[in-house]
Amino acid sequence: MHQEQRQRTHELLKSRAVERALFASPYSIKWLTGFAAPVQLGVNHPFIGGPPLVWYEAGHFTLFVSDAYAAETAVFDQQPDGTVVTYQSYTIEQPLAGAGHLATALRQHGAQARPRSGRIGLEQRDVMSHVEAALRETTSPEVEFVFIDGWLEPLRMVKTTEELAKLRANFALTDVGHATARRAVAAGQREIDIWTAVHSAIQQAAGQRVPLGNDCVVGYRQANIGGWPLAHALKPSDSIIIDLSTLLHGYWSDSCATYVAGEPTAQQQAIHQTVTEALEFAASLLRPGAVAKEIDRQVRQFIAAAGYPVYPHHTGHGVGVSGHEAPRIVPYNDEVLQEGMVIMLEPATYLPGETGVRLEDAFLITSAGAEVLTHHDKRL
């Protein structure tokens, strides 16, 4: 499970002379271990005491988690290069002190092999201050700390076979969501009514809870690019942008379509046609070697040439343990597409307070170009 990810990490750290490292970013933890702590009620519940951590040393990865996650992490404990250390969190015998127990577990682990030299990597932007303090307590002053925030992000761009399976399972769920949305959109329905129908269908298909992003907004909202569903009701010929991201097995999908309640207007049909063609054009640019910012420039140019306002957001992005990751398809980005990347493309145009269209598909970059991973109907 996720051994290839750990191998890539080991090689990177070795090449940069980092002998030990503490990973704290939730994205790093999921990517290194395959374990995804549930997020939908907030990650730092009083019963948990803190987000998971991974300690790297000599090619081995130790996952520190609340004992509430003992069952879910057992598979990682069986990996040849993985160990799980659990700490007590929920108890009725004493005050809840999971954070303290986590720090103690880390301190005890560090004390066993107190580093006296070398470099320790630290994801400083995600690690809690008291956790870093516990780590430093068991570290000689001669040890150098190196901040490794963002180091794994480039390694995450090309997906493994295991990751592609998880991503495909998620894209199957967004397909279910859009099929439901298409049936649910009707005059009289509110954004929240459509959203709950979509979310229910996705969770029933998965047979479990599945967090759901991103947008469900009627065209007549002034800020009609994105936003959460509210009580705005659809009137005949109102458009609605429905952008769906699911989170199953720790991986995100993404997808967007735009629907109209009843009969679309001539204007809606025209901009929908333009955005449909923009998405086809964007997809045609995908291949190994293509430069992110060049795709971005050409797709914006396509919308502008059609005479519509150019979307103010990204043209696309990578997707994986994070819903928006490298390579970003944006104006500044020199990154080059590689086989095995999974890329979202989402051209759009918006007329604030009136209507708007965004269409989004996912693509696996292949030697031949790209394979589409989303299969939802995007017709008006």
Binding to a second copy in span 345-374, by CB under 8 A: none
Chain-centroid distance, C-alpha 377: 23
**Are 192 and 200 within 8 A, CB to CB?**
no
Q: Which two tokens stand for residue 170?
A: 């998620």
* The residue count for the chain: 380
Q: Which is closer to a second copy, CB of 252 or CB of 363?
A: 252
Distances (CA, A) of 346 to 8, 39, 49, 167, 268: 30, 26, 38, 18, 17
Which residues lie closer than 8 Å to 98 by C-beta, 6 or more apart? Answer: 46, 47, 48, 49, 50, 66, 87, 88, 89, 90
Judged by CB under 8 A, which of 7, 47, 188, 236 binds a second copy? 47
Chain-centroid distance, C-alpha 366: 21
**Max Cα distance, the chain (Å):** 72
Asked if residue 241 binds a second copy (CB under 8 A), the reply is no
Give all strands of the β-sheet with 369-372 in edge-to-edge order: 325-329, 316-318, 342-345, 361-366, 369-372
Q: Which is closer to a second copy, CB of 264 or CB of 362?
A: 362
Binding to a second copy in span 164-223, by CB under 8 A: 190, 192-193, 195-197, 199-200, 203-204, 206-209, 211, 213
- Which region, judged by CB under 8 A, interacts with a second copy, from 12-20, 89-97, 106-114, 281-289? 89-97
Asked if residue 126 binds a second copy (CB under 8 A), the reply is yes
Q: Which is closer to a second copy, CB of 73 or CB of 268?
A: 73
Asked if residue 45 binds a second copy (CB under 8 A), the reply is yes
Q: Nearest distance from residue 92's CB to a second copy, in Å?
A: 4
Q: Which is closer to a second copy, CB of 59 or CB of 211?
A: 211
Q: Which is closer to a second copy, CB of 310 or CB of 380?
A: 310
Q: Which two tokens stand for residue 210?
A: 């599945």
Q: Please give the torsion angle defined by the CA atoms of residues 1, 328, 342 and 206, in that order, rounded to the nearest 10 degrees.
A: 70
Give the number of other Cβ atoms within 10 Å of residue 17's Cβ.
10
Q: Which is closer to a second copy, CB of 27 or CB of 308?
A: 27
Q: Nearest distance from residue 127's CB to a second copy, in Å?
A: 5
- Which region, judged by CB under 8 A, interacts with a second copy, from 7-15, 123-131, 337-345, 363-371? 123-131
Cα distance between residue 261 and residue 277, in whole Å: 22
Q: Which is closer to a second copy, CB of 20 or CB of 378?
A: 20
Asked if residue 324 binds a second copy (CB under 8 A), the reply is yes
Which residues lie closer than 8 Å to 207 by C-beta, 6 or more apart? Answer: none
Asked if residue 26 binds a second copy (CB under 8 A), the reply is yes
Tell me the number of residues near a second copy by CB under 8 A.
65
Judged by CB under 8 A, which of 15, 117, 332, 367 binds a second copy? 332
Asked if residue 46 binds a second copy (CB under 8 A), the reply is yes
Q: Which is closer to a second copy, CB of 175 or CB of 272?
A: 175
Residues in a beta bridge with 56: 21, 61
Judged by CB under 8 A, which of 57, 77, 325, 339 binds a second copy? 325
Which residues lie closer than 8 Å to 233 by C-beta, 6 or more apart? Answer: 188, 189, 190
The helix (run of H) or strand (run of E) holding residue 28 is helix 26-33
Asked if residue 375 binds a second copy (CB under 8 A), the reply is no
Binding to a second copy in span 221-240, by CB under 8 A: 228-231
What is the DSSP code (8-state) at residue 331? T
CA atoms within 13 A on the CB side of 61: 34
Q: Nearest distance from residue 148's CB to a second copy, in Å?
A: 12
Asked if residue 334 binds a second copy (CB under 8 A), the reply is no
Site string for a second copy, 242-261 (x = CB under 8 A): ---x-x--------------
Which chain residues interact with a second copy by CB under 8 A?
26, 38-47, 50, 92-96, 99-100, 122, 124-133, 147, 149, 190, 192-193, 195-197, 199-200, 203-204, 206-209, 211, 213, 228-231, 245, 247, 312-314, 322-325, 328, 330-332
